[in-house]
Amino acid sequence: MNIITLNKPSVLKYGAVLLVFLGWSAIAFSQDTLAKTQVHEQQNVNETVPRATPIGKRAERKQLMRFLKSLNFPEVDYNESDDNQWRHLAALFTRLRLYPLAMKCFLKTLSPDSLVNSDIPITNSDQQNIQSQLIITAKEVAPIKSNIIKVDSILEKFKDGKKALSYALILHVKQAVRGTPRVHKFIYTGHTFITLIKFNTDSSYASFTFGFGPHKDNLLAATPIIPSSSSKFTDDGTHNWDEVVGKFISKRRFERILKLTKQYDGLTYNLNSNNCTDFGLKAARLGGLEVRETKGYWPLGAGNNPGVTGKSILLGKFNNMDTGNFEKLFIDTARIAPIEVTVH
């Protein structure tokens, strides 16, 4: 979410921009100090964030496709010894933004006695989606802008008239500065958004990745000076992320998240109390995923934000509310080492 969008420059607007910029800059030093303090307090945690290997490299694409051809499509039964391989694939597919396929792979790591229905096959159409996305990823030079969407289009996506087999939720966090609790970098504050997936009995699925944010009424709307603004939902299917936590959820929880989304339609955005992270955390909690210590501070205000939320995820300050720990959670963060797959 961008706090300021410049258009039709004038002396007054530049003055306002300078005021906000100075306000944010004044807090930047304290944010850096806070980050260093937290690092000192977390000496038992490795704070070095490795850089993920780009997926678009030609050799890696070929390696991935060779590996996929070696798998037993369309269905592979649970095998404890293959857990790491499926986890690597799940992580790789999240970075390709193939979230339904990522959750299918993650499901293969859950034991048969899991509460989740384990019969969600990986199909030939999934292979085609992978090939198409690899081509798109290889050509991408910059993130595609998230388009504004209507809430009805989100709700209608899941009214496909098909019988559901399982449901899944993914929480995405894009920090202002990757791996740190920094609230902002200049005017950029990061973004928190979610993915909802409905897997059907006919092996098809419905999926939507979206987030809540400000629809700026004026230059200073949704800033520390004027925290409130009109709101919007955006299609964030192509949005970058730094941390991801996902889980399979019940139909009841899935419907509660859709209800929350409908309630947010037209709701006033507020930087301090009702921002993108507030929506994402509420949706996650309805799905049984809790993230602790998500609040940060900025000039004239404070609230939940992507920087602190992402840092808490990196430090393991979250849990599956059904188990009280990390069990049955799919986790992929900036700390994950470059992915390797082995061709048998």
Give me the sign of the Cα torsion angle 156, 162, 167, 170.
Answer: negative
Of 72-76, 84-88, 100-104, 213-217, give the lowest mean pLDDT range: 72-76
Tell me what the mean pLDDT of segment 142-167 comes to.
92
DSSP string, 282-318: HHHHHTTEEE---EEEETTEEEE-HHHHHHHHHTT-E
**Helices and strands of the chain, counted as H and E runs:** 9, 12
**How much of the chain exceeds pLDDT 70, in percent?**
68
State how far the Cα of 190 lies from the Cα of 174, in Å rounded to an integer. 5
Pick 182 or 29 by higher pLDDT: 182
Tell me what the mean pLDDT of segment 294-305 comes to.
95
Pick 158 or 63 by higher pLDDT: 158
Q: Are 196 and 289 in contact (CB under 8 A)?
A: no
Q: What is the pLDDT of residue 55?
A: 43
* CA 310 to chain CA centroid, nearest Å: 10
Backbone angles phi, psi at 207, to 5 degrees: -145, 140
Q: What is the pLDDT of residue 46?
A: 36
* pLDDT range class, residue 112, cuts 50, 70, 90: low
Is 183 exposed, middle or buried (CB count within 10 Å of its CB: 0-12, 13-18, 19+)?
A: buried
State how far the Cα of 47 lies from the Cα of 40, in Å rounded to an integer. 10
Q: Which residue has the tokens 């998500």?
A: 294
Q: What is the pLDDT of residue 253?
A: 98
Q: What is the pLDDT of residue 122?
A: 77
Domain ranges of the chain: 13-47+144-332
* pLDDT range class, residue 191, cuts 50, 70, 90: very high
State how far the Cα of 1 lies from the Cα of 24, in Å rounded to an integer. 15
Pick 170 or 110 by higher pLDDT: 170
Pick 200 or 56 by higher pLDDT: 200
Pick 147 or 35 by higher pLDDT: 147
Asked if residue 265 has pLDDT above 80, the reply is: yes
What is the chain's mean pLDDT, rounded? 78
Asked if residue 21 has pLDDT above 50, the reply is: no
State how far the Cα of 295 lies from the Cα of 188, in Å rounded to an integer. 17
Asked if residue 75 has pLDDT above 80, the reply is: no
Which DSSP helix (H) or strand (E) runs through 234? strand 228-235
